[in-house]
Amino acid sequence: MSIQEFLQHLANGTSLGSLYALLAIGYTLVYGILRLINFAHGEIFMLGAYIAYYGLTLTSLPWFVVFVLASVFTGIIGVTLERLAYKPLRNSPKITNLISAIGASFLFQNLAIMLFSGRPKAFPSPDVLTGVIYIGGVSVNIISLIIPVVTVVLLIILNTVIKKTKTGMAMRALSKDYEAASLMGIDINLVISFTFFIGSFLAAVGGIMWGIKYPQLIPIMGVMPGLKCFIAAVIGGIGNITGAVLGGFILGLGEIMLIAFLPTLTGYRDAFAFVLLIIILLIKPTGLLGEKTAEKV
Partner 1 sequence: MLTIDNLHVSYGGIKALRGINLKIDDGKIVTLIGSNGAGKSSTLRSIMNLVKKEEGSIKYDGEDLTNLPTKDIVKKGIALSPEGRRIFSNLSVEENLILGAYTINNKQKITEQMNKMYDLFPRLKERHWQKAGTLSGGEQQMLAVARALMIRPKVLMLDEPSLGLAPLLVKDIFDIIKEINRQGNTILLVEQNAKKALEIADYGYVLETGSIVLEGEGQILLEDDRVKEAYLGDAK
Residues lying near partner 1 in the complex (CB under 8 A): 166, 169-170, 172-173, 175-177, 179-187
State the nearest-atom distance from the C-beta of 194 to partner 1, in Å.
Answer: 14
Amino acid at 209: M
The full DSSP string for 8-77 is: HHHHHHHHHHHHHHHHHHHHHHHHHHH----TTHHHHHHHHHHHHHHHHHH--S-HHHHHHHHHHHHHHH
State the nearest-atom distance from the C-beta of 177 to partner 1, in Å.
Answer: 6
Residue number, 94 or 176, with CB nearest to partner 1: 176
State the nearest-atom distance from the C-beta of 206 to partner 1, in Å.
Answer: 27
Residue number, 57 or 165, with CB nearest to partner 1: 165
Q: Which residues, at least 6 apart from 59, have a Cβ–Cβ distance to it below 8 Å?
A: 66
* CA pair distance 114, 49, nearest whole angstrom: 16
Residue number, 44 or 181, with CB nearest to partner 1: 181
Among candidates 199, 200, 211, 201, which has minimal Cα distance to 143?
A: 211
Residue number, 32 or 207, with CB nearest to partner 1: 32
Burial (CB count within 10 angstroms: exposed 0-12, middle 13-18, buried 19+), residue 169: middle
State the nearest-atom distance from the C-beta of 269 to partner 1, in Å.
Answer: 37
Residue number, 151 or 175, with CB nearest to partner 1: 175
State the nearest-atom distance from the C-beta of 187 to partner 1, in Å.
Answer: 5
Is residue 232 within 8 Å of residue 24, measured between CB atoms? yes
